[in-house]
Amino acid sequence: MRETIARILKFRDDRGWKKFHDPKSLAVSISIEAAELLELFQWMSGEEATRFAAASKERVSEEMADVAIYLLELADITGIDLAQAIDAKLEKNARKYPL
Amino acid sequence: MRETIARILKFRDDRGWKKFHDPKSLAVSISIEAAELLELFQWMSGEEATRFAAASKERVSEEMADVAIYLLELADITGIDLAQAIDAKLEKNARKYPL
Amino acid sequence: MRETIARILKFRDDRGWKKFHDPKSLAVSISIEAAELLELFQWMSGEEATRFAAASKERVSEEMADVAIYLLELADITGIDLAQAIDAKLEKNARKYPL
Amino acid sequence: MRETIARILKFRDDRGWKKFHDPKSLAVSISIEAAELLELFQWMSGEEATRFAAASKERVSEEMADVAIYLLELADITGIDLAQAIDAKLEKNARKYPL
Residue-wise pLDDT for C14-27, tens only, equals 999 999 999 999 99
Q: Of the candidates C22, D33, A77, A89, which has an alpha carbon nearest to the alpha carbon of residue B39? A: D33
Region D21-41 average pLDDT: 98
In this prediction, residue B22 carries a pLDDT of 98
CB neighbour list of residue C14: distance below 8 Å, 6 or more residues apart: D99
In this prediction, residue C66 carries a pLDDT of 98
Interface of A with B in 34-93 (CB under 8 A): 34-35, 37-38, 40-41, 44-50, 52-54, 57, 60-62, 64-69, 71-72, 74-75, 78-80, 82-90, 92-93
A contact chains, 3+ CB pairs < 8 A: B, C, D
In this prediction, residue C63 carries a pLDDT of 98
In this prediction, residue D17 carries a pLDDT of 97
CA distance B53 to B58: 9
Enclosing domain of residue C79: 2-96
What is the overall mean pLDDT for chain D? 97
Contact C43, A32 (CB under 8 A): no
Helices then strands, counting H and E runs in chain A, come out as: 5, 0
In this prediction, residue B15 carries a pLDDT of 97
- What letter represents residue B66's amino acid? D
Region D71-95 average pLDDT: 98
Q: In angstroms, what separates the C-alpha of C3 from chain B's closest C-alpha?
A: 33
In this prediction, residue A1 carries a pLDDT of 87
Q: Of the candidates D50, D73, D26, which has an alpha carbon nearest to the alpha carbon of residue C78? A: D50
User: How many domains is chain B built from?
Assistant: 1
- What letter represents residue B91's amino acid? E
B contact chains, 3+ CB pairs < 8 A: A, C, D
Q: In angstroms, what separates the C-alpha of D20 from chain C's closest C-alpha?
A: 9
Q: In angstroms, what separates the C-alpha of B28 from chain D's closest C-alpha?
A: 7
CA distance A31 to B64: 12
Q: With an 8 Å Cβ cutoff, are B89 and A75 in contact?
A: no
CB neighbour list of residue C17: distance below 8 Å, 6 or more residues apart: none
Cα D63 to its chain centre, rounded Å, is 9
Residue-wise pLDDT for A9-60, tens only, equals 999 999 999 999 999 999 999 999 999 999 999 999 999 999 999 999 999 9
φ and ψ at C7, to 5 degrees? -65, -40
Which residues from B are below 8 Å from C28, CB to CB?
Answer: 28
* CATH at residue B46: 1.10.287.1080
Q: In angstroms, what separates the C-alpha of A78 from chain C's closest C-alpha?
A: 18
pLDDT under 50: residue ranges of chain B: none
- Its pTM stands at 0.97
Contact C67, C29 (CB under 8 A): no
Measured between CB atoms, which of C31, C45, C46 is closest to B31?
Answer: C31
Q: Of the candidates B4, B25, B15, which has an alpha carbon nearest to the alpha carbon of residue B69? A: B4
In this prediction, residue C21 carries a pLDDT of 98
Q: How is A7-52 classified by DSSP, letter by letter?
A: HHHHHHHHTT-GGG--HHHHHHHHHHHHHHHHHTTTT--HHHHHHH
Helix (H, G, I), strand (E, B), or coil: what is residue C40?
coil
C-alpha dihedral (A50, A52, A55, A56), degrees to nearest 10: -120
Q: Give yes or no for C6 touching D (CB within 8 A).
A: no
Contact C85, D1 (CB under 8 A): no
Which residues from D are below 8 Å from A35, CB to CB?
Answer: 31
CA distances from D34 to B54, B82, D39 (A): 27, 27, 9
